[in-house]
Chain A
């Protein structure tokens, strides 16, 4: 049976596409040549990345004394950047796993790139604890390996060690999930390649995918298992990151709301970064028919929702800091809001709590320019949030004689800018050689949510009360009916099998 979408839903694929159109549109960037703008941006990102790598090597060579850390503020930009990048990484898994469980079809247009973003962001994140160790060549000491180091076993009581496990698990599962999804799409690219060398490379990447029923069956099964594994990971990773702070007894760090609040904040910042990237990508790669205004609106709604959750958490923390009657806690929050870092606190509140409230207006949710600006504002705000939590809580500790300020050096800034450069280098390369849209998955929803005949009329006029029947579905090629049936069944099978 055919799933009839409600008439009031907007189409998710515009422009009366055929199945072949989808393949053509997605493969175009891989087969074509990059324009000069791409080379310009790539060059810029590459320069930033090189500057960052230089600073990292300088840090490793000389020691972390080249950062602005001091005896009171032992954690600052490095951990801020770490948490910021890990948080950004959350959107990919949320889109690919959690939205799959919630049967959100709009995820299919953005999951591939969001997962790529996740993987690159987690790589950037992992850099910071690594170089903060000072002696990065001994980084393997964080793993519980049988060793000759005597008492130097990792401390299992430390949330920092839990973090090692959480993030490495997250990275592995995300990578595998992403790659499995890519296999059929690599095969589609392989089959279209003419030049022998690229054809060879894509055929290796495609693992000999032939597209027969058995392959699809295995593909669906393994996707389900991985989605089931990835969903708890969305929660666990940032919960454990929050425990790096919340298990301590430092005012401003130790508060029970941290785990869910960090998760909400992570999804918040992750979706902002997805939007930043998607708004550029859909334009440059001409994917406006797939990543539609409706997709952008949905992402904006998630930003508004998670932003509001973060807002509730901020106010809860403020309230309980007063309500608890704990002087130190009260002072920590007074100091945040009115102390020497008031400007960081004000930036955090404005960017994270107030600016997403603009999304209440449909006009703004669907405005590309404002959305783009807001997505960057949210990313700035979330960086400041981590900075506020980390630095303001420790720069004035229990001993007033050691109160101090944190001043970043050019190395601190250079490493951070370098990771942004490196991130964009990776993402720009990805956008040239990977199918940036899950093209085979998108095809499965074409008949149900594509813009055909009746659906097209409905997208603008909501009140028409016609019966929508499959026979009216218009341009969809009749010969594809059977394959559409089976993929639809597969999808419902998939939903049924969840969890």
Chain B
């Protein structure tokens, strides 16, 4: 049975978006005044506008990553000849369908900064040669002639592959055979190469450059691990939603268990990379590197450490047990917590660099999150309803269906 995007669900998702929008607007009107006089060290007045743009950028990147993670995961499943995940392939494809809009928003928000609309990226407003020797040194990397073509190229490549996979998937339903499958296999390997470089490079461009003086070689992989995790969590929640509607009967508890394993394992991967980056910078104690953590730990100790410990401890303790990984309630609770605290992770990557000590999570930020959640989920469900819920003719479908007893 296929998924039907009922009016009720439409109302709920749009309702979430509208409530988010209202909160967001309320936040702008009533909660934003104290930031009106925020002045940066370089004498630039951020104005009350900065906080709005930071929240929009945080959400655009967060939801863009969810789509991108699914695109990566589908390619990975092809390249690794995986069968169990075939039963969820349409779910992954639906989630990646929001990538074009989210990628466009990310690009748009950065472009607004380029023309002076906000001051998130310090380098966008820096005149080369006016005294900041680090930015002078990096001038080439941040020059529009280099920055924009690179960013557009990778975003465009991701966009292209989203369309490619979604189109091929329907075609395989009709055509059958294995010709398309092997074509997808080859394309996936190619995509993974682009992704391998692209995910790191765009992370430097859109996130690491907020703290324009700071650098860390691990940063790209660290961001990637969190993104992959959140993508898997969103997919798991969607699968549980579909199961609760009595759909997706092809997937057994074992398949859900496999999703739970990914949540568990990727939480460890994220923690491992967080720790590796943090510990090495803390241990070596080089001022150029520690600035990043000083800004976060000194000014936002509870938010930052809370984010780390909960992102580590909750999945570890709650999902350690095998039965918990197939328990829908446990997965939903842990999944929601992961989404909240990884949203804070992304927020903490951007805000301290963009707003110094003045960042906080108020109704403005909460509203913007729900605004994006509503829109994102609406797009995903619409895409999901537009085609059969389970693929046909995938060469691994039979094996994947029966792999769990």
Contacts and interface: CB of A to CB of B under 8 A. Distances in A.
B304 interface: no
A334 to B, nearest CB: 15
Interface stretch (A204-212, A254-262, A391-399): A254-262
B133 interface: yes
Contacts of B277: 256
Interface string A103-123: 100000000000000000000
B289 to A, nearest CB: 8
Given A239-B276, A256-B281, A316-B217, A8 B178 contact: yes
B81 A9 contact: yes
Nearest to B136: A325
B118 interface: no
Given A235-B272, A325-B138, A462 B178 contact: yes
A435 B217 CA distance: 44
- Range class of the B interface residue count: 35 or more
B322 A499 contact: yes
A324 interface: yes
A143 interface: no
A256 B283 CA distance: 11
Contact of B83 (A6, A246, A255, A462): A6
A37 interface: no
A326 interface: yes
Contact of B322 (A101, A320, A489, A496): A496
Contacts of A4: 398-399, 402
B181 interface: yes
B156 interface: no
Contacts, number: 118
Interface in B117-171: 133-134, 137-138, 141
A6 B189 CA distance: 21
Interface in B197-232: 197, 200, 204, 215-221
A249 B284 CA distance: 6
A465 B176 CA distance: 10
Interface string B264-282: 1100100011001101110
A103 to B, nearest CB: 8
Interface in A263-321: 308-309, 312-313, 315-317, 320
B276 A316 contact: no
Nearest to B196: A312
A62 interface: no
Contact of B405 (A235, A243, A246, A489): A489
Contacts of A498: 261, 322
A323 interface: yes
A361 to B, nearest CB: 12
Contacts of A462: 178, 182
Contacts of B204: 323
Interface string B372-405: 0000000000000000000000011011001111
Given A312-B197, A499-B265, 4 more contacts: A8-B396, A247-B283, A256-B216, A465-B177
